[in-house]
Amino acid sequence: MWRPSGLFHVNYSQEIAFVQTPFQWVMLVLGLFVTFALPLFIPLDALNFFIKAFITITAVLGLTLLTGNCGQISLGHTAFMAVGAFVGAPLLNQGVPLILCLIMAGLAGGIVGLIFGLPALRIKGFYLAFATLAAFYVIRFILIHYFGGVVGHNVPPPSILGFSFNSDFRIYYLIASTCFAMTYFTKNITRCKWGRAFIAIRDHDIAANTLGVNVYFYKLMAFFIGCFYAGVAGLVLSIYMGWASVDHYSLTNCIWYLGMIIVGGMHSISGAYLGVFFILGIEEMGIVIAPKLAELFPQLAGSMIGAVPIIFVGLVLVLFIMIEPRGLVHRWEIIKTSIRIFPFSN
């Protein structure tokens, strides 16, 4: 966000405020207005893109906290989303109020995440990454075998106070509001002692420990919170799809999510937004181009639609991480500083 070179806060309260400059106020109000007016102006495909983006942001914010801030790599994120969906969907079916279902889905994701986060108390890095990958397969197995997995659950359009979210147009509002609420919560977590404890653990767990941070507790809480987001996002996704099936929660998606936080620069909310739109944009390009390629190469037409978006995103992520492993936000910071100190930059 653009800031004048001479921004001086007059009290500490301003420094931790959600919105810090008049310019940001304007942006926030404008942003909210545009988001909520959007469905009136854009075609349905574009709307679907934004719906997907907001769901993904909700999930990725959880990873921003868990992996970006607390440094605990989780390759099981989509599995925790599935847990949220598989707990929330039957509840919705039984007529439990939507808000309650979302909270229950979040709690279910969070608790399962906490359980599978237990190895994090003893391992980190590659080991933890692989342990969470194992968790992905274990959870998937359990969902398929004991919670009606492959067939899954039908999800009826939910409603709040008689307003039924029964079209993509209406669901958009549900999803955008959920996403913004979760964004606000993320900001809250990161601007108090919890956010600092997470980063402290990521940067130097031993030092954090000597400062009195109970590393075990906060790691588990990071899993709980991160997977809470996953659970909520999972249920929201199943509402959008009208169906909860394990196939919507693939490992590929989980890889993309982690790729998004890398692209965005790991630990900031704006990074999460940036990364999601960037990667989903690339994927969308693949989806649009695939049928055209299929016309050019008819003998490959069968697999084009499925393969091209994956090839696109995979390739872009590989190139991106090779060139700028610290993400767009990092690059942006560099540009910003060099603009601010303009004649003196090199």
Partner 1 sequence: MKKEIQTANSSLAVDKVSLSFGKILVINNVSFQVYEGEILSIIGPNGAGKTSLLNCLSGFYQPDSGRITYKGQEITKIPIHRRASLGIGRTFQGLQLFPGMTVINNIMSGRHILMKTNFLQAFLHWPWVHREEIAHREVVEEIIDFLEMEAIRHELVGNLGYGLRKRVDLARALALEPKILIMDEPMAGMNMEEKEDMARFIIDIEEFKSIPIILVEHDMEVVMDISNRIMVLDWGNVIAEGKPEEIRTNPAVIKAYLGDADEEVNHY
Partner 2 sequence: MENILNYIIAGLANGCIYSLVAIGFVLIYKSSGILNFAQGTIVILNAFVFYSFTIQLGIPMVIAILLTLAFGALLGFVIERFILDRLIGQPILAVIILTLAFSEFLKGIMNLGWGTDILSAPQLFPRGNITILNIVTLDYSRIAFLVITFFLIIIFAIFYNKTKIGLAMKATSDDTIAAGSVGIRVRRVFVVTWIISCITAAAGGILVTNVMGIHIQVAEIGFKAMAVALVGGLQSLPGIIIIGPAMGIIEFLSAAYLDPLVDGGMRDLVPFIILLIVLIFRPSGIFGWKHIERI
> Under the rule (CB under 8 A), what is the footprint of partner 2?
67, 73, 75, 118-119, 122-123, 125-127, 129-131, 133-135, 137-138, 141, 144-145, 206-207, 252, 255, 258-259, 262, 266, 300, 302-304, 306-308, 310-311, 313-315, 317-318, 321-323, 325
**CA dist., res. 260 & res. 302, Å (int):** 28
Tokens of 142: 């359990």
The span of 45-53, 140-148, 188-196, 300-308 binding partner 1 (CB under 8 A) equals: 188-196
Q: Residues 81, 233: contact at Cβ < 8 Å?
A: yes
188 binds partner 1 (CB under 8 A): yes
Q: Residue 223's closest CA among 140, 141, 112? A: 112
**What is the per-residue burial (b if ≥16 Cβ within 10 Å, else e) of 135-165?**
bbeebbebbbeebbbeebbebeebeeeeeeb
Which residues touch 276 (CB under 8 Å, ≥6 apart)?
Answer: 53, 56, 57, 60, 260, 264
- Residue carrying structure tokens 């925790």: 80
Residue 346 interacting with partner 1 (CB under 8 A): no
Q: Which does 287 bind (CB under 5 to 8 A by kind): partner 1, partner 2, none?
A: none
338 makes contact with partner 1 (CB under 8 A): no
- Judged by CB under 8 A, the residue of 144, 215, 293, 321 near partner 1 is 215
Count Cβ atoms below 10 Å from residue 221 Cβ, excluding itself.
21
Least Cα distance to 116 among 99, 101, 136 occurs for 136
Closest approach, Cβ 265 to partner 2, in A, equals 12
Question: Choosing among partner 2, partner 1, none, which partner's interface includes residue 345 (Cβ < 5 to 8 Å by kind)?
Answer: none
Which of partner 2, partner 1, none is residue 262 near (CB under 5 to 8 Å by kind)?
Answer: partner 2
177 binds partner 1 (CB under 8 A): no
Residue 46's Cα: distance from chain center in Å?
20
Q: Tell me if 252 contacts partner 1 by CB under 8 A.
A: no
Per the CB < 8 A criterion, the answer to whether 35 and 175 are in contact is no
Site for partner 1 in 221-250 (CB under 8 A): 221, 225
Residue 305 partner contact from partner 1, partner 2, none using kind-dependent CB cut-offs of 5 to 8 Å: none
Q: Report the amino acid identity of residue 331.
A: R
In the complex, least distance from residue 172 CB atom to partner 2, rounded to whole angstroms = 29
Supply the minimum distance, in Å, between the C-beta of residue 308 and partner 2.
Answer: 7
List residues near partner 1 by CB under 8 A: 11-13, 15-16, 185, 187-189, 191-194, 196-197, 199-200, 202-204, 206-215, 221, 225, 267
